[in-house]
Amino acid sequence: MTDSSRIAVEIRGLRKTFGSGVTRVDALAGMDLDIPVGQFVAVMGPSGSGKSTLLHLVAGLDRPDAGGIRVSGQDILTLSDDELTLLRRRRLGLVFQAFNLLDALTATENISLPLVVDGVPERDAQRRAERALERVGLVQRGQHLPKEMSGGEQQRVAIARALAIEPMLLLADEPTGNLDTHNGDQVMQLLRQVVNEGQTILMVTHNPSHAAVADRIVTLRDGHIIHDRLLGDERARVAHSALETPRAES
């Protein structure tokens, strides 16, 4: 019997359809998936396979047509919109391809603002923002505006913002999609690091080398899981070391 306390996400019979008649698309066609606490799961597949739909449903940003989703043992489909908002604000860290930073705020302010909105005293929110920046290696950029940072730095600030709430689950949708190879690899090193510290991550990516940094690769096609592969220790070490290999200066 599976220990439910060790399952971060439990999905059963998940279905989501868009359109009707000849335009009907089964984005997810009865999916079952369990993600243990502390696991890094990469979801791959061609465009239209259901990757982002899966992530949005787990985040409570959309509702399925059928099936069940439990996050940390909680049935999120029974939650109201307001309750889902609180779940995202307090338990789910969200990172997207677009950095979604506010241009007029510094890195520290971008990270602390959601905490303040949730009722955290401003001083405490600032301390948590500074700790999150330290965690992603950007303490020195705390007072910089987004326009004063590289794309890679902006994405690391976005990750710090997600980590600052101390989420039970981090959801990342193409987090390296807007980055060059070097910055993308740095972001993947960071995500690997936080998983090694105990964070659970569900990530959508098109990049096979970045997916190989995860503990497990789930491949979708036409709304179905066609492969679900747990990476062996040796293979994972090779993938991780590949990202850590210093690049020659051009």
The strand order across the sheet containing 201-204 reads 92-96, 169-173, 201-204, 40-44, 216-221, 224-230
E strand or H helix that includes residue 42: strand 40-44
Report how far residue 134's alpha carbon sits from residue 214's, in angstroms, rounded to the nearest whole number.
23
pLDDT tens sequence for the chain (250 residues):
345 568 999 999 999 999 888 788 889 999 999 999 999 999 999 988 999 999 999 999 999 999 999 999 999 999 999 999 999 999 999 999 999 999 999 999 999 999 999 999 999 999 999 999 999 999 999 999 999 999 999 999 999 999 999 999 999 999 999 999 999 999 999 999 999 999 999 999 999 999 999 999 999 999 999 999 999 754 445 445 545 554 444 3
Q: Domain ranges in the chain?
A: 4-91+167-244, 101-166
Q: CA torsion, points 89, 158, 94, 170, in degrees to nearest 10?
A: -100
Helix ranges, 15-141 (H): 51-58, 81-90, 107-117, 122-135
Distance between CA atoms of residues 193 and 226, nearest Å: 28
Distance of CA 84 to the CA centre of its chain: 17
The residue written with tokens 């710090």 in the block is 160
CA–CA separation, 151 and 108 (whole Å): 16
Are the C-beta atoms of 179 and 158 separated by less than 8 Å? Answer: no
CA distance 85 to 82: 5
Which amino acid belongs to residue 162? Answer: A
pLDDT of the residue at 21: 82
What helix, strand, coil percent values describe the chain, rounded to 5? 40, 25, 35
> How high is the pLDDT of residue 238?
47
Question: Cα(121)–Cα(125) distance, rounded to whole angstroms?
Answer: 6
Fold of 4-91+167-244: Rossmann fold (3.40.50)
The Cα–Cα gap between 160 and 207 comes to 22
> Which pLDDT value is given to residue 111?
98
